Amino acid sequence: TLLASVAYLKDPAERVEMTRLVNLAFNVTVMSEQKVVEDCKAFLQSEGLLKPGEWDNMISGERHGTVMLWITDLVVQAEEKGSLTRAQADRLDFTLRDLFAKLDQLVTQAGNPPPLPYAMIVAFLLKVVLFSVATQAGMLLSQNRQASEKINDLDIEFWMWWLCTCVYILIYISCLQGLLDMQHILDAPYGRRLWDLGHEKHLRELRRFSHGLLNKATQRSRKEIMSVAQEPSYPFLP
Is the per-residue pLDDT at 124 higher than 70? yes
How many C-beta atoms lie closer than 10 Å to residue 72's C-beta? 16
Domain around 132: 119-187
Structural contact between residues 74 and 17, judged by C-beta atoms closer than 8 angstroms: yes
Structural contact between residues 33 and 110, judged by C-beta atoms closer than 8 angstroms: yes
- Is 28 in the same domain as 79? yes
In 3D space, the residue among 121, 116, 122 whose CA is nearest the CA of residue 180 turns out to be 122
Domain total in the chain: 2
| Residue 194 placed within a domain | no
Residue 166 to residues 38, 123, 162, 204, Cα–Cα distance (Å): 61, 24, 6, 56
Confidence of residue 235 (pLDDT cuts 50, 70, 90): very low
- Is 105 in the same domain as 11? yes
- Is 34 in the same domain as 82? yes
- Is 145 in the same domain as 30? no
- Is 83 in the same domain as 29? yes
Candidate from 96-100, 160-164, 168-172, 214-218 with smallest mean pLDDT:
214-218
| Residue 197 placed within a domain | no
Exposure string (b/e) for 122-148, b if CB count within 10 Å is 16 or more? beeebeeebeeeeeebeeeeeeeeeeb
| Residue 195 placed within a domain | no
**What is the model's pLDDT at position 223?**
45
Is the per-residue pLDDT at 78 higher than 50? yes
Rounded CA separation 200/43 (Å)? 13
User: Stretch 149-171: mean pLDDT, rounded?
Assistant: 69
Rounded CA separation 212/206 (Å)? 10
| Residue 236 placed within a domain | no
**What is the model's pLDDT at position 230?**
40
Rounded CA separation 107/96 (Å)? 16
| Residue 175 placed within a domain | yes
Q: What is the pTM of this model?
A: 0.51
- The larger pLDDT score, comparing residue 193 to residue 160, is at 160
Residue 236 to residues 21, 125, 169, 232, 233, Cα–Cα distance (Å): 48, 85, 89, 12, 9
User: Stretch 186-192: mean pLDDT, rounded?
Assistant: 62
Is the per-residue pLDDT at 99 higher than 50? yes
Is the per-residue pLDDT at 233 higher than 50? no
- Is 43 in the same domain as 99? yes
- Is 219 in the same domain as 154? no
User: Stretch 144-169: mean pLDDT, rounded?
Assistant: 67
| Residue 163 placed within a domain | yes
Rounded CA separation 93/84 (Å)? 11
